[in-house]
Amino acid sequence: MNYATQMEAARKGIFTKQMEEVLREETVSKEFLMAEMAAGRIVIPANKKHKNIVGKAVGNGLKTKVNVNLGVSEDECNNHLELEKVRTAIDMKADAIMDLSIYGDTKNFRKKLVEMSPVMLGTVPMYDAVAKYGKDIGRMTVEDLFEVVVEHCEDGIDFLTIHAGLNLECVKRIQNNPRLTHIVSRGGSILYEWMLINKKENPFYEHFDRLLDICREYDVTLSLGDGLRPGSLKDATDAPQIQELLILGELTKEAWKKDVQVMIEGPGHVPFNEIAGNMMLEKKLCHGAPFYILGPLVTDIAPGYDHITSAIGGTLAATHGADFLCYVTPAEHLRLPDLQDMKEGIIASRIAAHAADIANGVKGAIDWDHEMSKARGELNWERMFELAIDPEKAREYRKSSSPENEEVCTMCGDLCPIKRGKDLKEA
């Protein structure tokens, strides 16, 4: 039997190679996976042109996934460094990588990324349209925008962030409800400017059927972007954000009619006490589609530490329905992240995801923690390093402060309660 997309395959009862790969690392049943994919609550982003991809699934009942953003800008255009980041992100077990490049030879970089990456890949075509054409934003045509979408699909990108929900109705909402930080989404701000200059509807909203036909042809997952996500706590859960979410819910149903897989992108900066409500709204208004979130950051006052503010919000969000965490680095709001920033962001997000998986009762998630506790109880340092989420850093800390008795650490020394308990048992 033939199928165009992973969603169509699930609906026809076809068990694909990518579904088989997903079940190697997930603990759900084949029947559950296919039923949830058919309903749109699980997606497997896997472009037919991305030949070396290993299937990963995002959505209901699965492990929380982590995405890593990278890519060059006009001020920091070092493709060699970005490719090193790609290799490092894969080694550090990132589940996805997004190329957000906005300058230079984006196509060549993107092709190298597809060739070397077994993990799912995402892009934002709107960024590349600006880099590709070098035009004033208002002079870009509908054909310009769709040409870039096709190019990214042809190059093998697995999921595309498209801000299709930011339509003229949303423009009214943002104008009638002034914000502290206005529009902080780069893609959203570009489309907002384009609509204001041209006095026309968002091309991706107006020609959404055309977009769906392209995605169906390549089996590219639509990651419906949150162009009006809040960029400050004050703007969280406001009228523009919710208006866009309503539109995204409607577009999701249209995509499912054509068997196109969909993820919904979410906030942003959200007070801790509003996170659960935001997750509930997305799942309700967008019919259970997987939720892909940036953060959310729970405070605005911590530049240099936003990987921490994001991890706090990410854990809570993932325990209330978020399925996919976009990492945030210490460089957020300050600069393009370097390699060390990226590492810290990945670890913080993976910790948040794992903590949520434990809280959600994902089968087998807590076993990792039990293994670590067993190694600690035995003062088995080598096993602790093997189990650590960042073995390199754990080894460095241990090595930097050597105790007189190698069995313990320099925190407690001879008063180590675990050692003394072991000695008492053995006496």
> SS3 breakdown of the chain: % helix, strand, coil, rounded to 5?
50, 10, 40
Any binding-site annotation on 229?
yes
Enumerate residues 6+ apart whose C-beta is below 8 A from 394: 384, 385, 388
Any binding-site annotation on 98?
yes
Any binding-site annotation on 50?
no
Helix H or strand E segment including 266: strand 262-266
103 band by pLDDT with thresholds 50, 70 and 90: confident
Any binding-site annotation on 377?
no
Percent of the chain with pLDDT over 90: 92
Q: Rounded to two decimals, what is the model's pTM?
A: 0.96
The predicted structure's pLDDT at residue 199: 97
Give the chain's mean pLDDT: 96
Question: In 173-238, where do the E strands start and end?
Answer: 221-224
Taking residues 130-140, what's their average pLDDT? 87
When mean pLDDT is compared across 293-307, 310-324, 409-423, the lowest value belongs to: 409-423
Closest-CA residue to 306 (of 278, 255, 348): 348
Residue 240 has pLDDT above 90, yes or no: yes
Helix H or strand E segment including 59: strand 58-59
156 band by pLDDT with thresholds 50, 70 and 90: very high
Any binding-site annotation on 305?
no
Any binding-site annotation on 265?
yes
Residue 1 has pLDDT above 70, yes or no: no
Any binding-site annotation on 292?
yes
Any binding-site annotation on 167?
no
Any binding-site annotation on 80?
no
Task: Please state, in angstroms and rounded to a whole number, the distance separating the CA atoms of residues 256 and 39.
Answer: 8
Any binding-site annotation on 420?
no
Please report the sign of the dihedral spanned by the C-alpha atoms of residue 205, residue 210, residue 214, residue 219: positive
Any binding-site annotation on 185?
yes
Any binding-site annotation on 412?
yes
8 band by pLDDT with thresholds 50, 70 and 90: very high
Taking residues 292-296, what's their average pLDDT? 96
Both tokens of residue 102?
């906005």
Any binding-site annotation on 227?
yes
Residue 359 has pLDDT above 80, yes or no: yes
Structural domains in the chain, CATH included, are 6-359 (3.20.20.540), 367-426 (no CATH)
Residue 210 has pLDDT above 80, yes or no: yes
Q: What 8-state DSSP symbol labels residue 330?
A: T
Any binding-site annotation on 326?
no
Any binding-site annotation on 133?
no
The predicted structure's pLDDT at residue 76: 77
